[in-house]
Chains A and B, each alone.
Chain A
Amino acid sequence: MPFAHRLTSLLLATVITAGTASGAVRDIDKEKWTSGASNGRPAVGDEVGILSYGSDGPVALVTVEAIHEDFDGMTSDPPADSFYVAVDLTIENVGAESVTYDANDIDLVLGDGSILFSSLMSLPEEEPGPLSSDPVPAGDTTSGRVLFVVPDGAAVGGVVYDDYYNMAILAATDDFPDHAPGETLNWTYQDVYYGEEYDLDVTITDTIDPYDGRTAPAGSRYIALEFTIENAIPDDGYRVVTTTFEMLVDGNQLRGAHWPRDD
């Protein structure tokens, strides 16, 4: 999630109530979450481990309890040419320290692959209420709802966790975007800061798995993917293609792109 969006969200955040339940820290099988044993994408109702930098396992388990398409629990109609989607989540702190999550950490995946940020509109306080941004102490569980304003005609492909540095797929629907390596994908979007339109053709043109040009850490392997990105805009204007934020995510874990240093 872009920093500016997160900052704006923080500034505009309203006070919301906590729905936190206390309890002892659950003794989970961390190997289950660190080995990638759960292949395939999680579905509604599955627990997904959320890692923290330096942790030896998940610090929280997040479950998407429900995805309410055409959510009708708001007091106002959705903006023109859009509809509401609400996502109910449960977050269990299974680490040793407090964790803090909020609606800014939850995004919606649409069927075309684009990721939609949560809405800043205030949700009603009725159960489960909006997802609280209050810290969740170790061993506690919190539940809450996150709202999205979705363009008409868009399909809901799933829900992702996104804390700017890490991402994880929390739940996928039948409309989750599926593509094969070698297939060229076209992405068009408009830069919100400079107004420039982008039109990129992105293709994975080679896969090296495992990539043995480097020694991977224990329990891990490297995968090298060759990308070809073309500026498909027919005019002669320049567009900057950045490669900073690609992440490869397995079905139930989050992994960042890795650029080994020349050590």
Chain B
Amino acid sequence: MATSSGGPIGLATTDHDPLESRRLRGGQSVTGYLIFEAPEDATTWDLIFSPLNGSYVLGLGAFED
């Protein structure tokens, strides 16, 4: 079972650009995908986001189509 968060290696696909660390000026943005491994039958999620020094919970609940 993989539980390590690993490092930002990037996606080996051509159809989805990975989200990459970036230096942004005010007003600039970065867009990209991250892949998460999830239990096969789990349906609710929360995201832990840790920019540099702090951590934040993005309480997502269940994804909707």
A residues near B, CB below 8 A? 1-2, 34-37, 39-41, 51-56, 107, 109, 113-115, 157-158, 160, 162, 165-167, 169, 176-181, 185, 187, 189, 191-193, 198, 200-202, 204-209, 211, 213-214, 216-217, 219-251, 253-263
Contacts and interface: CB of A to CB of B under 8 A. Distances in A.
Given A35-B40, A249-B47, A251-B42, A257 B5 contact: yes
B46 A254 contact: no
Given A2-B53, A115-B57, A255 B29 contact: no
A178 B61 contact: yes
B32 to A, nearest CB: 7
A241 B6 contact: no
Nearest to B52: A191
A115 B53 contact: no
Nearest to B43: A39
A255 B39 contact: yes
> Top 5 A-B pairs ranked by shortest CB distance?
A36-B39, A36-B42, A262-B12, A256-B5, A245-B50
A251 B47 CA distance: 11
Interface string B31-52: 1111111111111111111111
Interface residues of B, number: 61
30 contacts: A36-B42, A41-B44, A166-B4, A177-B58, A179-B61, A180-B61, A191-B53, A202-B49, A208-B16, A209-B63, A217-B37, A219-B40, A224-B36, A225-B33, A225-B34, A230-B29, A240-B23, A242-B52, A243-B34, A244-B8, A245-B51, A246-B48, A247-B47, A255-B38, A256-B37, A257-B6, A258-B2, A258-B35, A258-B36, A258-B37
Given A36-B41, A109-B57, A202-B49, 17 more contacts: A35-B42, A41-B46, A52-B3, A114-B56, A160-B48, A162-B55, A178-B61, A181-B64, A204-B47, A221-B40, A224-B36, A228-B30, A231-B26, A235-B26, A253-B39, A256-B6, A258-B35
A213 B10 CA distance: 13
